[in-house]
């Protein structure tokens, strides 16, 4: 949007018109920089969210593996742990297919 061509600038001196144009150019430059930084921020937030999901998956897998390692093979897993590991595996696979 160029304000220099609008009615409010009529009658202004050449020096003032030049300053208005400089300020408009500076404003446009700042807007472009802001948009670029916002895009970088959005990308960083998306990457952080993805990393948090990976950490959560690793925590759950570590829990399951620790539980399995600490129990002898002859001991039957409690139903709630089996269900947890199975439901987690299903969630993990569905996330893999979405990625």
Q: Which residue has the higher pLDDT, 21 or 84?
A: 21
11-15, 31-35, 70-74: least confident range: 70-74
Asked if residue 90 is part of any domain, the answer here is yes
b/e burial code for range 14-52 (CB count within 10 A of at least 16 → b): eeeeeebeeeeeeeeeeeeeeeeeeeeeeeeeeeeeeee
Is 2 a domain residue? no
30 or 7, higher pLDDT: 30
Whether 56 is in a domain gets the answer: yes
How many residues would you count in the chain?
Answer: 99
Q: Is the pLDDT of residue 59 over 80?
A: yes
Q: Which domain holds residue 67?
A: 12-98
SS3 4: helix
Distance CA 59, CA 61 (A): 5
Within-domain flag for 3: no
Q: What's the total number of domains in the chain?
A: 1
Q: Is residue 21 part of a domain?
A: yes
Query: What are 82-93's pLDDT values in tens digits?
Result: 566 666 655 555
**Per-residue pLDDT for 2 more than 80?**
no
């Amino acid at each position: 949007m160029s304000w220099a061509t609008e009615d409010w600038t009529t009658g202004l001196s050449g020096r003032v018109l030049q300053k208005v144009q400089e300020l408009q150019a500076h404003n446009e430059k700042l807007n472009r920089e802001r948009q670029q930084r916002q895009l970088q921020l959005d990308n960083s937030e998306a990457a952080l969210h993805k990393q948090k999901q990976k950490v959560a998956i690793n925590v759950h897998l570590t829990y399951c593996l620790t539980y399995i390692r600490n129990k002898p093979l002859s001991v039957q897993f409690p139903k709630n742990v089996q269900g947890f590991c199975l439901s987690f595996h299903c969630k993990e696979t569905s996330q893999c297919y979405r990625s």
